[in-house]
Amino acid sequence: MSLVSVRNLTRIFDVSKPWLNRVIERRPRALLTAVSDVSFEIEERTVYALVGESGSGKSTIGKMLVGLLAPSDGVVDIRGVDLSRETDAEKVDAVRADIQMIFQDPFASLNPRWRVRDIIVEPVAARGGETAGLAERLLEQVGLSARDAGKFPHEFSGGQRQRICIARALASEPKLIVCDEPTSALDVSVQAQVLNLMSDLKDEFGLTYLFISHDLTVVQHMADRIGVLYLGRLVEEAAPSELFENPKHPYTQMLLAAAPKLDGFGREVAPPTGEIPDPINPPPGCAYNPRCPLAQAVCREERPVLRNVGGARVACHMVD
């Protein structure tokens, strides 16, 4: 059974101007659909990656999974518990305790006035758990030293701070960690260290990751399954080898072609055309239709549903 099941997940933000401005300027309410009808499953002990350009809804999905944001519609089901509808508080708490999150910015997510020890054990202490020696043990597990427990965050480099964030996430022995661009702020040599650490910890503790990134190369390296988002919609989902060798959705194809290649010496490809549309007024039908080389009349009228195509799932009228 899958650990996480996300069904028809939707999140709409009200981005209207204040009421009085709307009346004076005669503007309608503005609703921004950040995530639209997204469904996917995450198997236990696997890495599911969400990839997409900025504003595609990755962080919003991550936040709904950990309960930082409520869905406007749809279901987040973890270990059989529907988090937004379950009324048994104990059940919800138990599931919540199994989920942790790591963010992109290890500077912003650590309280500068707390010692590393207190930062790491905080999630456990908050539940009244046993914390003696916990921080020291976890620090060694993430490649720092037990002595670091007494220091403050500013004494560490970016990569070391991300290790501290990982130690804190591990403290409550979670099953699922939502990692939102965990290495995007790090240099590539430090990124390699942190990604290796995350792989090791996953094996050691039997963790499951929802791994969010805009970096295709990182996602390709880390993921067992990849979902590609465009304007809040899941447009393609496949295993990494399938996705990179045989991308099916025109947007995925464009994204892969645009990504710079390490051996792409002097490569001249026609760059992609157009820009990501305004999420408040998305194009009708397939959101990619204004930029898509394959688009036909149906693409401007009907939203394509995500269908099985071989081992992948693809939302495109023209793929079969």
Ligand X SMILES: Nc1ncnc2c1ncn2[C@@H]1O[C@H](COP(=O)(O)OP(=O)(O)O)[C@@H](O)[C@H]1O
Answer yes or no whether residue 294 interacts with ligand SF4 by CB under 6 A.
yes
Q: Does 250 interact with ligand SF4 (rule: CB under 6 A)?
A: yes
Partner that binds at residue 59, options another protein, ligand SF4, Mg ion, none, CB closer than 5 to 8 Å by kind: Mg ion
58 binds ligand X (CB under 6 A): yes
> Judged by CB under 5 A, which stretch of 55-63, 77-85, 202-210, 297-305 contacts Mg ion?
55-63
| Contact with another protein (CB under 8 A) among 111, 196, 246, 296 | 196
Query: Which contacts of 13-20 are long-range, i.e. CB under 8 A and separated by 24 or more positions?
Result: 15/280
Q: Which of 56, 100, 104, 213 binds ligand X (CB under 6 A)?
A: 56
Choose one: 16-24, 50-58, 185-193, 239-247; the region binding ligand X (CB under 6 A): 50-58
**Residues 226 to 285: which contact another protein by CB under 8 A?**
254-255, 257-269, 271-272, 275-276
Q: Which does residue 318 touch among another protein, Mg ion, ligand SF4, none (CB within 5 to 8 A, set by kind)?
A: ligand SF4
* Closest CB 249 distance from ligand SF4, rounded Å: 6
CA distance 153 to 115: 7
Residue ranges in 255-284 that form contacts with ligand X under rule CB under 6 A: 279
CB 40 within 8 A of CB 227: yes
With CB cut-offs between 5 and 8 Å by kind, which of ligand SF4, ligand X, another protein, none does residue 149 bind?
A: none
Q: Is 13 in the site for ligand X (CB under 6 A)?
A: yes
Least spacing, CB of residue 55 vs another protein, in Å? 9
Binding site for another protein (CB under 8 A): 53-54, 157, 159, 187-193, 195-196, 199, 214-218, 220-221, 254-255, 257-269, 271-272, 275-276
Binding site for Mg ion (CB under 5 A): 59
